[in-house]
Amino acid sequence: MARYDKGHRDTTRRHILDVASTQFRENGIAAVGLAGIMAEAGLTNGAFYTHYASKEDLVRAVLCDALERREQRHKDNLENGVALETVIRDYLSPRHRDRAATGCPTAALVSEIARHPKATREAFTGKISDILALMAAQMPEGTPAERRRRAIAAYATMVGALQLSRAVSDRQLSEEILENAVDAALALAKGR
């Protein structure tokens, strides 16, 4: 039996996670099979179960990892004084719209997550709550409850607008959706 270098298991697990994350966001969870993930990762189907108990286990891992990365970006923005307006404009940009495979996992997967088991939805809920708290911390003025309310409204506007902009076939309409959503999210963030 061949021995692998220390850390090989973690590296392989990470590789499977990254491949699945890209495929799920690009094509949707339901449309992606384990065989396709493992083929893209350059591994056998049997190797999957060394790392994950099931596809649902992988889905939860992908969501947690992708949302933790998103959360870290929000933390970095707070620490570096990046204005919430910059965050909103970046999120609702044509560049983000056109890169679903590497973009926000919420916008790419939220409609499917609603149909997943409670454990997956609870993992998603916890991460989204953390992101909302960080967004609220970037909101100008207001009580914590008011800032949280505005963060929820702004985030929901951003996610929904990004989904709509990806779904329509008319490029001009897609651009209008993004532009108008920027204005709406900024107004919500500022409490107007």
pLDDT per residue over 71-120, tens digit each?
998 889 888 988 889 999 999 999 999 999 999 999 999 999 999 999 99
pLDDT reported for residue 1: 45
pLDDT for 77 equals 86
Its pTM stands at: 0.88
Whether 124 contacts 113, CB under 8 Å: yes
The Cα 137–Cα 84 span in angstroms is: 10
Distance between CA 96 and CA 94 in Å, rounded? 5
CA distance 72 to 134: 10
Q: Which amino acid is located at 46 in the chain? A: G
Which position has the token pair 């709406």? 184
d(CA 69, CA 93): 19
Handedness of CA 112, 116, 121, 124 (dihedral sign): negative
170 has a pLDDT exceeding 60: yes
Phi, psi of 100 (to 5 degrees): -60, -35
Q: Which residues of 28-41 are buried (b: 16+ CB within 10 A; e: fewer)?
A: ebeebebeebbebb
Question: Domain spans of the chain?
Answer: 8-190
What confidence tens digit (pLDDT) does each residue in 13-57 have?
Answer: 999 999 999 999 999 999 999 999 999 999 999 999 999 999 999
Alpha carbon separation from 93 to 3, 75, 97, 176 (Å, rounded): 47, 21, 6, 11
Residue pLDDT, tens place only, 137-159: 988 789 999 999 999 999 999 99
- State whether CATH 1.10.1740.10 applies to domain 8-190: no
